[in-house]
A and B are shown apart, each in its own frame.
Chain A
Amino acid sequence: MSAPRSARRVLGPAPEAGALLDVEGFRTHFETPAGTVKAVDGVSFTLERGQTLGIVGESGSGKTVLARSIMGLLTARNVQRSGRVAYNGQDLVGASKQQQRALWGTEMAMVFQDPMTSLNPVMRIGRQITEGLRYHLDLPKGEAAAQAVQLLESVGIPDPNRRINQYPHELSGGMRQRVTIAIALACGPKLLLADEPTTALDVTVQAQILDLLNEQQRERHMAMILVTHDLGVVAGRTDEIAVMYAGQIVERAPTRTLFSSLRMPYTEALLRSIPKLEQPSHTRLSIIGGRPPDLINPPAGCRFAPRCPYAQAKCHTEPPPLVEADTPGHVYRCWFPVGSAAGLEALERNLAEHNPAAEAAATGDAAAAAAVEG
């Protein structure tokens, strides 16, 4: 299995032209009695083979729904997908259940947030790994078991021969997440979707799991979508970052560009809310005041406007389009972008008018942040 893959790396670009995953104007709406929840509302991006895309956003921004509905895992009757998702040139939105299932496991796989619930509690570790191998690759029992041991070894589980006969509850959280990664990798997918793979884990284990994902990705020349709410997690590990807010991508840029010249006030606010080591102890954490908007009736203008320190009258009425920045591959949605003259002016005007969002951003004052409506 690994032979053709390494050959491809030597030869340079993959023989199949075009991106591995091409998402264009993708929408996922939920029909509910209260109205249509626009959980994902017009998302576009492309992902090349072997590349990593980080999707960042706070709770309720639609990042998990995006990851799951790209794969087609949301099966409830009230889910409506529209737009275009092309995997290797094959359309996924209009694909039948059977066509989609044929891709799951072998072409694309998913690692879930909570390893406590994503493993079957009454099935041995070994069988949970071999299930997929035997089902998809038709491996005989012994061969599948041998490969399970190999997989466990490759994800850094010591004594895999003993572990395959254990049940999930006999393993620690970090170990379990390693097992779920092994299960996801078992059939050699070309795209791995990791949905907050470290959120449920101890901080010390988080880095190990992320390193493991990166290492496996490099070895297998696999593309990865890393969903997280923590900008720190994606900082050194992704090629590109997409920041999501209220179902939309509000800024997308190569990782280095995003951190050096971010444009979107929301990205700035997210970045500011990460505690820094050089700050003295007892420094108040900076927070983003207010709450994410109602996805049934999103704000008419910019969706972040009610909480934005830069927001002007225009922001509340006209939705900003996704525009390109000076640096290549960098797009954002903002009328008064950070670092521009217009943005600076807008912030100063808001400060002069004692706008709570602007004051909270300038002073880090929690009381001001609490006054933000939204």
Chain B
Amino acid sequence: MTDIAATALSAPDMPSPPGTSAPAARHNGALGFGGWLSAIWLTVITTSTIVAPWLPIDDPRITDFAVPNNSPIGKAGHLLGTDQNGFDIFSRLIWGGRVSLIVAVGVLAIGMVVGGSIGLLAGFWRGKLEILLMAIVDIFLAFPALILLIAIVAFLGADLTNVVVGISLVSIPAFARIARATTLTFSQREFVLAARAAGATNRRIILKEILPNVLLPLLAFGLLVVGIAIVAEGSLAFLGLTSQETISWGGMINGGRPALQRENIAHTAMLPAFVMFLTVLAVNFLGDRFRAAFDVRDAVL
């Protein structure tokens, strides 16, 4: 888990050239079977976590004393059993999804806005500004992402806001580099010169000509980051860097670990791990399909 987060957050510098990475048959705009499955899974997860307070499920913070702790799947009215505290696992999975959703949306928003702006400005203005901004970005990239993340969260305190800010902070450099690389290629294109020849100001050129072109690769990369962010949040919770009141998948895995080791009871740790695995897989799969299907730029033709 930790390796994925560390490598993938720091790796991509250049976006893959549009259209070269996916076979031509994928450009028909269809999601395909796997794509639809992913979309359905993500829709189910998203809606259920949003409407969780109104769902007819057990309170995730109330211990059921009627059944033994770590009771197996399907026993005594608990669809997926109970965990080491006697909490309903099914209910906690749904409530734990909230944290993942907040982390995903928060990191995507902050990373794209801040990282995208840094990259756009650096790529468009070049010169000293670019050197300064990119030096900061490179310094951030030089830290191992997870270590930096742990340091940030340990320093600021382990509540959800700080987790989101921390993960955003380590993802901003990657967003910035992609935005800058794409801006560099697009600001050399003739349509930018054409816009300038038509009297457009630099602000107009950045916002109307370059930004829409940079947004697509940035969003495609953003979906990849969502997967990594969910895993990263899980890693932090697994390491105990989360408040005890927060229900999260990573925390559930961590909580189920003693039972797995001592009593060979697998489901308390494995169920949240499996849900997290499916979610990240779906996000990545959809991200890939998204890039292939919506990358309708002329280089593709």
Would you list which residues of chain B between 271 and 301 have a CB under 8 Å from chain A?
296-298, 300-301
Q: How far is the CB of A114 from chain B (nearest CB, A)?
A: 6
Q: In the complex the two chains form, what is the Cα distance from A73 to B197 in whole Å?
A: 7
CB of B189 closer than 8 Å to a CB of A: yes
CB of B17 closer than 8 Å to a CB of A: no
Inter-chain contacts of A104 with B (CB < 8 A): 196-199
Q: In the complex the two chains form, what is the Cα distance from A110 to B193 in whole Å?
A: 10
Q: Are B296 and A167 in contact (CB under 8 A)?
A: yes
The stretch from A53-61, A120-128, A283-291 touching chain B is A120-128
CB of A344 closer than 8 Å to a CB of B: no
Q: Are B191 and A118 in contact (CB under 8 A)?
A: yes
Q: In the complex the two chains form, what is the Cα distance from A103 to B199 in whole Å?
A: 7
Most buried by B among A104, A117, A119, A123: A117
Q: How far is the CB of B105 from chain A (nearest CB, A)?
A: 24
Contact (A135, B194) CB under 8 Å given A121-B298, A169-B298: no
Q: In the complex the two chains form, what is the Cα distance from A187 to B296 in whole Å?
A: 30
Q: Are B199 and A105 in contact (CB under 8 A)?
A: yes
CB of A131 closer than 8 Å to a CB of B: yes
Total interface residues on B, using CB and 8 Å? 24
Q: Are B198 and A132 in contact (CB under 8 A)?
A: yes
Q: In the complex the two chains form, what is the Cα distance from A116 to B300 in whole Å?
A: 12
Q: Are B199 and A102 in contact (CB under 8 A)?
A: yes
Q: Are A73 and B196 in contact (CB under 8 A)?
A: yes
CB of B190 closer than 8 Å to a CB of A: yes
Q: How far is the CB of A175 from chain B (nearest CB, A)?
A: 13
Q: How far is the CB of B131 from chain A (nearest CB, A)?
A: 14
Interface of B is mostly: helix
Most buried by A among B127, B199, B201, B300: B199
Q: In the complex the two chains form, what is the Cα distance from A104 to B197 in whole Å?
A: 6
Chain B residue at minimal CB-CB distance from A74: B193
CB of A69 closer than 8 Å to a CB of B: no
Q: Are B199 and A116 in contact (CB under 8 A)?
A: no
Q: Which of A77, A120, A136, A168 contacts B199 (CB 8 A)?
A: A136
Q: In the complex the two chains form, what is the Cα distance from A187 to B201 in whole Å?
A: 16
Q: How far is the CB of B210 from chain A (nearest CB, A)?
A: 9
Q: How far is the CB of B235 from chain A (nearest CB, A)?
A: 36
Inter-chain contacts of B204 with A (CB < 8 A): 135
CB of B213 closer than 8 Å to a CB of A: yes
CB of A183 closer than 8 Å to a CB of B: yes
Q: In the complex the two chains form, what is the Cα distance from A77 to B128 in whole Å?
A: 12
Inter-chain contacts of B197 with A (CB < 8 A): 71, 73, 104-105, 109-110, 184
Q: Which of A75, A77, A113, A183 contacts B198 (CB 8 A)?
A: A183
Inter-chain contacts of B193 with A (CB < 8 A): 73, 112, 118
Inter-chain contacts of B190 with A (CB < 8 A): 112-114, 117-118
Q: How far is the CB of A361 from chain B (nearest CB, A)?
A: 37
Inter-chain contacts of B61 with A (CB < 8 A): none
CB of A238 closer than 8 Å to a CB of B: no
Inter-chain contacts of A184 with B (CB < 8 A): 197-198
Q: Are A121 and B200 in contact (CB under 8 A)?
A: no
Q: How far is the CB of A196 from chain B (nearest CB, A)?
A: 12
CB of A349 closer than 8 Å to a CB of B: no
Beyond A77-B127, A119-B194, A132-B199, 5 additional contacts (C-beta under 8 Å) are A73-B193, A73-B197, A102-B199, A104-B198, A121-B298
Binding site for B on A (CB under 8 A): 71, 73, 75, 77, 101-106, 109-110, 112-114, 116-123, 131-132, 135-136, 167-169, 180, 183-184, 186-187
**9 closest Cβ pairs, A-B complex:** A105-B199, A104-B199, A118-B190, A105-B198, A110-B197, A117-B190, A122-B212, A120-B191, A169-B298
24 A–B contacts from the bound complex (CB under 8 Å): A101-B199, A101-B201, A104-B198, A104-B199, A105-B197, A105-B198, A109-B197, A109-B198, A118-B193, A119-B191, A120-B191, A120-B212, A121-B191, A121-B297, A122-B212, A123-B212, A131-B195, A131-B208, A132-B199, A135-B199, A167-B296, A169-B300, A184-B197, A186-B198
